[in-house]
Chain A
Amino acid sequence: MRYSGLRIIKEALTGNKGWKPAWRDPEPQPAYDFVIIGGGGHGLATAYYLASTFGKKRIAVLEKGWIGGGNVGRNTTIIRSNYLLEGNGPFYEYALKLWEGLEQELNYNAMVSQRGILNLIHTDAQRTAFTRRGNAMILNGADAEMLGVEQIRARYPFLNFNDARFPIKGGLAQHRGGTVRHDAVAWGYARGADNLGVDIIQNCEVTGFRIENGVCKGVETSRGFIGAGKVASCVAGSSSRLMAKAGMRLPIESTVLQAFVTEGLKPVLPGVITFGAGHFYCSQSDKGGLVFGGDPDGYNTYAQRGNLPVVEGVMESGMALIPALGRARVLRMWGGLMDMSMDGSPIIDRTEIEGLYFNGGWCYGGFKATPASGMCYAHLLARDIPHEYATAYRFDRFRRGYMIDEKGVGAQPNLH
């Protein structure tokens, strides 16, 4: 069923009786050509592009819970391509370009909103670093603009400009950055994939791999064995847990990142802003809630909930930047499991086991990557060679010493 304005009017006049479920609920078949593990944004996008761009058939997505119940439905929805390093810049800019055409392609309102992202500057050293980053962005085909204090004041008059310790000295803006309705990304890709014949199988946990003579033949699941030509892991924060079942150790640690949303307010925050003197980022959802977050908790965990010191730290950073925030009440807070890699950058690669592929290590920035991650992973699965924008995202970069370490903190996942 195609969605359109006309359709909404027609359904409104006929009691909304014509709407159909956006995707089927099929029983798993005994075997598929491609089995994708994980019904998050990346898994669903991979299935969609495998079927649409690469014309593949017999594809299944296996999700242990419900689609969208993982990080794709838990993140703070920020998209941007303001990266510095070579392996990352072109990839994230490609993702941003795919976001720009996504809703038309999927015939689905994912509420892609290019309201702009602004990284604030508080010191001279930061200005130098951000100027360099802005130049790198422009070289990679992205947009970047350095803003002065008066330009920022015109748009965000309520910021704490003259804080004694962290005065605002300017900012690096990417006007094409913004936010996307996160659940709608999962649902839009699911509907698009399902339309092309992909089986989306929920409540189906992968519990092991069937590997014979170094070749992966399929997966054991809570709903029985499912055979596969190619098996594609795409489980974000559960990556190490899943791949351990194939005997692999990954350059990844799992940590939790928390996020917060306030009660609905009238429009106050037009774009996405990030604090440069502490880790704090904030935007206002279309429902009016201020959505914000900060640092991950920083220790290994699979608990999907964080601890109070980080909550306090995030609130303090928020108050330092936006004193008015103290007047809003926090409605909800939650956490998501993140696959923190050793250099802060992702992996999209084959494994040493034939027929078994891996996508992960997205840290807390993988939402913005969703369309490009899906496209590049689908390319690898369909053609067995990396997509041109993902050639740097190989496992062997750690062994070879080619880390893509945006923050320059080394093999310390909790600091990326």
Chain B
Amino acid sequence: MIINHPLLGPRDAQEFTYLGDASLIDRPDWEAADAQEQFYEYAYLRDNPAGEHRELWFHEIGDRSWLVVTRNTLTHEITSVEMARDVARSKGRSK
């Protein structure tokens, strides 16, 4: 697989390590009344879809940035690559 890094262009997937579902960006609020339940779901439950999947990849032996890659789990086709920082900020996170 080739990941089209927004800053560096096409890079071999071997340069990256895989973390998992991009929903891991949405860390629950630890002060919420149901924080325990939210953290259980956040840490352990996954949609694991067959088809389009948004996921976090770390450019470990490259520029060490985190990317959100949209990839089809049935074909391995990658349709979009974003900087995870931009995705997080667009959701109101500071970084």
A residues adjacent to B (C-beta < 8 A)? 240-241, 244, 249-254, 298-303, 307, 309, 342, 398-399, 411-414
Contacts and interface: CB of A to CB of B under 8 A. Distances in A.
B74 A398 contact: no
Contacts of B74: 302-303
Contact of B73 (A249, A298, A303, A413): A303
Contact of A399 (B14, B40, B48, B55): B40
A299 B55 contact: yes
Given A300-B73, A302-B74, A411-B43, A307 B48 contact: no
18 contacts: A241-B48, A241-B49, A244-B47, A244-B49, A250-B46, A251-B44, A251-B45, A252-B46, A253-B21, A254-B50, A299-B71, A302-B50, A303-B76, A307-B1, A399-B40, A399-B44, A411-B44, A413-B20
B57 to A, nearest CB: 8
Contacts of B73: 254, 300-303
B27 to A, nearest CB: 14
Interface residues of B, number: 25
Contacts of B75: 303
Contacts of A398: 40, 43-44
Interface string B52-95: 01010000000000000001011110000000000000000000
A322 B46 CA distance: 39
Contacts of B71: 299
A41 B48 CA distance: 23
Q: Which of B18, B55, B74 has the most CB of A within 10 A?
A: B18
Contacts of A250: 45-46, 48
Given A249-B46, A307-B76, A413-B20, 7 more contacts: A240-B49, A241-B50, A244-B47, A250-B48, A300-B55, A302-B74, A412-B19
Nearest to B69: A299
B35 interface: no
Contacts of B76: 301, 303, 307
Interface string B16-47: 00111100000000000000000011011111
Contacts of B48: 240-241, 250, 252-254, 300
Given A301-B73, A303-B76, A414-B18, A253 B50 contact: no
Contacts of A303: 73-76
A302 B71 CA distance: 12
Contacts of B12: 309
B45 A253 contact: no
A309 B13 contact: yes
A414 B45 CA distance: 14
B20 A253 contact: yes
A241 B49 CA distance: 7
Nearest to A302: B50
Nearest to B46: A253
Contacts of A241: 48-50
B71 to A, nearest CB: 8
A337 to B, nearest CB: 10
Contacts of B47: 240, 244, 249
Contacts of B44: 251, 342, 398-399, 411
A266 B58 CA distance: 45
Nearest to A342: B44
B91 to A, nearest CB: 21
Nearest to B41: A249
Q: Which of B47, B48, B76 has the most CB of A within 10 A?
A: B48
A161 B59 CA distance: 35
Given A301-B73, A309-B13, A398-B40, A251 B18 contact: no
A298 B18 contact: yes
A198 B23 CA distance: 43
Per CB-CB distance, the 5 closest pairs between chain A and chain B, nearest first, are A240-B48, A398-B44, A249-B45, A302-B50, A251-B44
A342 B44 CA distance: 6
A414 B16 CA distance: 14
Q: Which of A251, A300, A301, A411 has the most CB of B within 10 A?
A: A300
Nearest to B14: A309
Contacts of B18: 298-299, 414
Contacts of B46: 240, 249-253
B6 to A, nearest CB: 19
A118 B34 CA distance: 48
Contacts of A414: 18, 20
A61 B30 CA distance: 45
Contacts of B19: 412
Nearest to B45: A249
Contacts of B1: 307
